[in-house]
């Protein structure tokens, strides 16, 4: 599915970006102390040096609240018309996490809902929020990607424990026109439900019910077939990015920064190679935060802006891939906005 607005068309424009990382840093060395792994393996196979994990008692909604408050501050606004929250790790299976976060943020009775698209969640949530704006249902929407993967990782599984981190990022979108900096110029979204088992929490939903019928306690933890996921991730993000670039008329060489989902530095480099974007243009912050799933894109974006890698006027391509399988891409010219 794709959406590409015309130049004077009403679109969603990015007005501010906020992020939050829980303070506890977990190093590769700490994980090597209890799992059969090593700093060397993790660094060379993934690029990750450390990740942040929330302390016991801190939930996804708490991280989402902090990032959401910072995004509102960055945009200089107090009120929005809707809150859309992307997460794989909601506070509860029911209800959604977004309404409680919206209430804590002082947003009263605005519509608030969760989006479940795993690591592609932020792009999906941004597309949903943009659609509310384009349809005239909202003038301003707060989009949040927030995760506490530390709560779903199997502590004995070295293949997932070393990869994922906790964190949150949020943006404020406002109605504007496609010609403005910060305008979301288009979306390319897709899914392939032929591979639900490559990334999953098998039990706890209606398929394997939580009342003791799941045969294996590990079925309640997050699991991933890393090798297969790697290949799908590169190909799907590559195809999606190329399709979007063609539709919005950006030659590949005009892309200043590629903000890809931060899963593995080798995935980001393979993606850059496939697209024909120089590797140096691929933003990398996974070395410090790991794979934060739905929070990955806004955290990488904020890191790049704060580090001077993304400047106002830069052409920024964002692309993400995750369980489902699901993927999505969007693009904008970076606006002169605050990052908090």
Within the chain, strands assigned E span 2-3, 10-20, 25-27, 50-52, 82-86, 112-115, 140-147, 167-177, 187-191, 199-200, 223-224, 257-260, 315-322, 326-333
Q: Does 282 bind ligand COA (CB under 6 A)?
A: no
Find the part of the chain contacting ligand COA (CB under 6 A) among 18-26, 211-219, 223-231, 299-307. 223-231
Q: List, in sequence order, the alpha helices (H) in 144-225.
A: 158-161
Q: DSSP letter at 164?
A: B
Exactly one of 229, 255, 332, 339 binds ligand COA (CB under 6 A); that residue is 229
Q: State how far the Cα of 316 lies from the Cα of 262, in Å rounded to an integer.
A: 15
Residues 258 and 269: their CA atoms lie apart, in Å, by: 10
Q: Which is nearer to ligand COA, 140 or 236 (CB)?
A: 236
Q: Which residues are catalytic?
A: 119, 261, 291
Residue 263 is a binding residue for ligand COA (CB under 6 A): yes
Question: Using the 8-state DSSP alphabet, how is residue 1 labeled?
Answer: -
CB 196 to ligand COA: min, Å:
14
Residue number, 68 or 190, with CB nearest to ligand COA? 190
* Window contacting ligand COA (CB under 6 A); options: 88-96, 173-181, 256-264, 307-315: 256-264
Which 162-221 residues touch ligand COA, going by CB under 6 A?
162-163
**How does DSSP classify residue 335?**
P
Question: Of the ranges 58-66, 104-112, 238-246, 260-268, which one interacts with ligand COA (CB under 6 A)?
Answer: 260-268
Distance CA(25)–CA(18), nearest Å, equals: 20
Should residue 50 be labelled a site residue for ligand COA when binding is judged by CB under 6 A?
no
Which residues lie below 8 Å from residue 213, measured CB to CB, with a gap of 6+? none
> What residue is closest to ligand COA based on CB?
226
- Minimum CB distance to ligand COA smaller for 45 or for 288: 45
Number of residues that bind ligand COA (CB under 6 A): 22
Of 97, 130, 241, 291, the one binding ligand COA by CB under 6 A: 291
Residue 326 engages ligand COA in binding (rule: CB under 6 A) = no
22 φ/ψ angles, rounded to the nearest 5 degrees: -65, 145
Closest residue by Cα to residue 148 from 50, 264, 63, 86: 63
Nearer to ligand COA, 131 or 228 (CB): 228
Q: What is the dihedral of CA 82, 1, 317, 10, to 10 degrees?
A: -50
Establish if 119 lies at the interface with ligand COA (CB under 6 A): yes
Q: Which residues of the chain form contacts with ligand COA (CB under 6 A)? A: 37, 41-42, 45-46, 119, 158-159, 162-163, 224, 226-227, 229-230, 233, 261, 263-264, 291, 321-322
């Amino acid at each position: 599915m794709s959406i590409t607005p015309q130049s004077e068309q009403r679109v969603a424009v990015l007005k501010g970006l906020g992020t939050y990382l829980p303070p506890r840093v977990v190093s590769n060395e700490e994980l090597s102390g209890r799992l059969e792994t090593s700093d060397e393996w993790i660094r060379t196979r993934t690029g990750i040096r450390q990740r942040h994990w929330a302390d016991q008692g801190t939930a996804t909604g708490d991280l989402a609240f902090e990032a959401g408050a910072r995004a509102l501050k960055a945009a200089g606004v107090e009120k929005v018309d809707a809150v859309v929250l992307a997460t794989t790790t909601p506070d509860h299976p029911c209800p959604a996490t977004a309404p409680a976060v919206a209430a804590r943020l002082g947003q009263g009775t605005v519509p608030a809902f969760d989006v479940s698209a795993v690591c592609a969640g932020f792009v999906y949530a941004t597309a949903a929020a943009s659609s509310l704006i384009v349809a005239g249902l909202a003038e301003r929407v707060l989009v949040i990607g927030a995760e506490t993967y530390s709560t779903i990782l199997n502590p004995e599984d070295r293949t997932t424990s070393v990869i994922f981190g906790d964190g949150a990022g949020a943006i404020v979108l406002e109605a504007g026109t496609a010609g403005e900096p910060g305008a979301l110029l288009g979306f390319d979204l897709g899914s392939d439900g032929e591979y639900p088992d490559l990334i999953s929490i098998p039990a706890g939903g209606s398929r394997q019910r939580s009342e003791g019928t799941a045969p294996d306690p590990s079925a309640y933890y997050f699991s991933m077939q890393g090798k297969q996921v790697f290949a799908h991730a590169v190909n799907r993000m590559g195809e999606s990015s190329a399709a979007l670039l063609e539709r919005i008329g950006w030659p590949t060489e005009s892309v200043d920064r590629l903000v890809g989902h931060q899963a593995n530095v080798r995935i980001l480099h393979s993606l850059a190679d496939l697209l024909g974007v120089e590797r140096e243009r691929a933003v990398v912050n996974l070395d410090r935060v790991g794979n934060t799933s739905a929070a990955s894109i806004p955290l990488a974006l904020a890191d790049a802006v704060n580090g001077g890698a993304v400047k106002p006027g830069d052409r920024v391509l964002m692309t993400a891939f995750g369980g489902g399988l699901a993927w999505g891409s969007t693009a904008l010219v970076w606006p002169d906005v605050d990052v908090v």
